[in-house]
A and B are shown apart, each in its own frame.
Chain A
Amino acid sequence: MAATPNRPLLEIDNLSTHYVSAQGTRVVRAVDDVSLRISAGETLGIVGESGSGKSTLALSILRVLPPAAQIVSGQMWFENEDLVRKTDTEMRHVRGKRIAMILQDPMASLNPLFTIGNQVGEPIRVHEGTRRAAAWRRACDLLKAVRIPSPETRVTQFPHEMSGGMRQRIVGAIGIACEPRLLIADEPTTSLDLTIQAQYLSLLRDLQREHGLALIFITHNLGIVAKMCDQLVVMYAGRVVESGPVSRIFNAPAHPYTKALLNSIPRMTDNRNRLTAIEGQPPDLSSLPRGCSFAARCPAAFDRCHKETPPEFNLEGGRTARCWLASVAMQSGAA
């Protein structure tokens, strides 16, 4: 499969996923006109609060949406194929093999009735038709790869015999079992202790380096982004409000929401200064206000923000921002 040079591994164009209530009266625009791209070996962070649509976006990429949700428009180019137009059968060959996903809760992700070896070997058996014994051997290697001590005995054990950190690493092993090109991690460390989280993040980074994986981190934690990611996509109320290289965004956020979010995090070394809080609450997705959805909470909002929805402006350095102020800055910069 010869990918055209410079074409990213995954390119999402104007994707919208909506939830429609049973009566069809309430439409929730969980993902609204989202575009993003990620190349092989890159790490992309998707940051947002609960209800920002980041998890729905992840489910959309794998096409494992709940029945009420539907991809209504857009394209998802993955290795030159549009995932949106694939049939369910074709998608089954993509899931777990070419795109894998790690979920938040390691306990719920593992079946308590099967041995570790069985579960780690399962994707290999399903996708590559490998025999049980060979899959078992591969499972051993994979456990070694995720740094689980004495993998030969661990493969015969059950999930309840493992600690939380170990279970999460096993979930990671299942994720990389078929050597996927893209790994999506949805809040992979929220249930872990700090030192265990550090272990796990360094493991993910090593796996990425060894296998040339593209990694998508879905998180609400900007710290994870600062530590792990190259590219960042900030979501608010279903839309991408800002995207670009992580260090540039952290140094000079273009969107007021990103700026406020960065300022609202307590820092280890600050001297008990008051935090800059973002006032108010995120809007209700089923009845979004007219104009920019952040306008009501935005300290820099002006008339136009309440009337017109800003489009995605392309800024220099591969950045985008959905903010009227960014367009002003861009024009004055060009002039």
Chain B
Amino acid sequence: MSMSSETIVLPPSVSTRSAASRLGDLPMIPIIILAVIAFMAIFADVLAPHNPEVGALTARFKPPFWQTGGTMDHILGTDQLGRDVLSRLIFGARVSMVVGFTAVIFAGVVGTVLGILAGYLGGWADQVIMRITDAWLALPALTFAIFLAAIVGPSMWNIVIILGLVYWTRYARVVRGEVLSLKEREFVRLAIVAGCSKATIMRRHILPNVVNSAIVLATLMLGVVIVTEASLSFLGVGVPPPKPAWGLMLSDGKQGLMVGYWWLTVLPGCCIMLMVLSANLLGDWLRVKLDPQLRQL
């Protein structure tokens, strides 16, 4: 009993086609690098040839196998305590991954929620949240992190919380800006007319539309967070030894650099660089891919 006799032609499942074409040009290199690091982190127990935290003092400062004095037993050599560098790098990936991802997610959740609240509620809620954000942003991130680490003491999960507390403000800023334009959209006004509560509107209409931006930002933040974690470990207020973190390895190896033990610093440095670079490349790609779509919504 249709009111109008016309034939309505709907496009045949456009979504699948456009989704496939949208993801057609994945940046393969960063994805492969991140996948390898993630693989190492997950299967560290199986992959690592030695225990990363126990070394043999008889086998200190062994170079990688291709240099004279190197053995196939320690492919990438050993450190000042005779621990296997390859094993430490593999387990270090786990620390970097866990710290990086959880800190980024923690910061993202806090920042997005506060950003939505500030942007949508406006008024005093906006004032309070944004003034805190401004004050927060005015503090130098690393100094602030060191200060927090000094208070709560070093542990891996403390580092996660510290990094989350340091970096949530960036999400809050971006998300609030997005929400300010979203809340003027007609679908939000119609939701008010339909009788939706503020909480419902924020959850059902605002949140799904800012998630894209938050994800893009998270990918870009991953690099920043990993570098900060490495810096904290390097400065001795990060993940406590003997846990193998890349930043910590860098810090431990620095005395050896002058006397030719280059592998102790260059190898973890390369790992950090590759991971940060991949995360940033992926973030850039996502930003380009998701942004135009966001604007035309």
Q: Mark A248-285, 1 if CB is under 8 A from B, else 0.
A: 00000000000000000000000000000101110010
Min Cβ gap B160→A in Å is 42
Q: Do A280 and B5 touch across chains, with their CB atoms under 8 A apart?
A: no
Q: Quick check: A281 and B9 within 8 Å, CB to CB?
A: yes
**Hey, which chain B residues are within 8 Å of A277, CB to CB?**
6
List residues of chain B with CB within 8 A of the CB of A280: 6-9
A281 to B8, CA, bound (A): 8
Interface size of B by CB at 8 A reads: 7
**B4 contacts which chain A residues (CB < 8 A)?**
279
- Taking the closest CB of chain B, its distance from the CB of A9, in whole angstroms, is 39
* Alpha-carbon distance A173/B204, docked complex (angstroms): 49
Cβ proximity bits B11-26 to A, threshold 8 Å, 1 near / 0 not: 1000000000000000
Residues of B within 8 A of A284 (CB): 11
Contacts of B11 in A (CB 8 A): 284
A12 to B72, CA, bound (A): 78
- Report the minimal beta-carbon distance from B234 to chain A, rounded to whole angstroms: 45
For B7, the chain A residues whose CB sits under 8 A away are 279-280
Contacts of B9 in A (CB 8 A): 280-281
Residues of A in contact (CB 8 Å), total 5
Query: Which residue from chain A places its CB closest to the CB of B10 in the assembled complex?
Result: A281
Can you name the residue of chain B whose Cβ is closest to the Cβ of A284? B11
Cα A280 to Cα B8 with chains together (Å)? 6
The distance from the CB of A22 to the nearest CB of chain B, in whole angstroms, is 10
**How distant is the Cα of A67 from the Cα of B176 in the complex, in angstroms?**
36
Which residues of A are found within 8 Å of B8, using beta-carbon distances? 280-281
Question: Nearest chain B CB to A248's CB is how many angstroms away?
Answer: 30
Complex interface: chain A residues within 8 A of B6 (CB): 277, 279-280
Closest CB in chain B relative to A238 CB, distance in Å: 19
Q: Closest approach, in angstroms, between the C-beta of B149 and any C-beta of chain A?
A: 48
Q: Which B267-292 residues have C-beta < 8 A from chain A?
A: none
CB distance from A281 to the nearest CB of B (A): 6
Q: Mark B105-143, 1 if CB is under 8 A from A, else 0.
A: 000000000000000000000000000000000000000
C-alpha gap A279/B8 in the complex (Å): 8
User: What CA separation (Å) do A280 and B6 show in the bound complex?
Assistant: 6
Measured CA separation A280–B7 after assembly (Å): 6
A263-313: which residues lie under 8 A (CB-CB) from chain B? 277, 279-281, 284
Looking at the assembled complex, report how far the CB atom of B292 sits from the nearest CB atom of chain A, in whole angstroms.
Answer: 14
* Bound Cα distance from A277 to B6, whole angstroms: 10
The smallest beta-carbon distance between A100 and chain B, in angstroms, is 30
Residue of A with least CB distance to B5: A279
Q: What's the nearest-Cβ distance from chain B to residue A120, in Å?
A: 32
| B5 neighbours in A (Cβ, 8 Å) | 279
Distance in angstroms from A116 CB to nearest chain B CB is 30
**A259 CA to B189 CA in the complex, in Å?**
39
Residue of A at shortest CB range from B24? A23
Contacts of A279 in B (CB 8 A): 4-7
Give the distance to chain A from B10, nearest Cβ to Cβ, in Å: 10
B174 to chain A, nearest CB (A): 26
* A280 and B9 alpha carbons, distance in the complex (Å): 7
Q: Give bound CA distance, A277 to B4, whole Å.
A: 10
Closest Cβ of chain A: how far from B196's Cβ, in Å? 31
Q: Which of B5, B9, B11 has the most CB of A within 10 A?
A: B9
Interface centre among B4, B6, B8, B11 (most CB of A within 10 A): B6
Shortest Cβ gap from B114 to chain A (Å) = 34
How far does the alpha carbon of A277 sit from the alpha carbon of B7 in the complex, in Å?
13
Give the Cβ gap from A280 to chain B, nearest Cβ, in Å.
6
Complex alpha-carbon distance, A279 and B4, angstroms: 9
Closest A-B pairs by Cβ, 10 of them: A279-B6, A280-B6, A280-B7, A281-B9, A280-B9, A279-B7, A279-B5, A280-B8, A277-B6, A279-B4
A–B complex contacts, Cβ < 8 Å, 12 sampled: A277-B6, A279-B4, A279-B5, A279-B6, A279-B7, A280-B6, A280-B7, A280-B8, A280-B9, A281-B8, A281-B9, A284-B11
| Beyond known contacts A279-B4, A279-B5, A279-B6: 9 more, CB 8 A cutoff | A277-B6, A279-B7, A280-B6, A280-B7, A280-B8, A280-B9, A281-B8, A281-B9, A284-B11
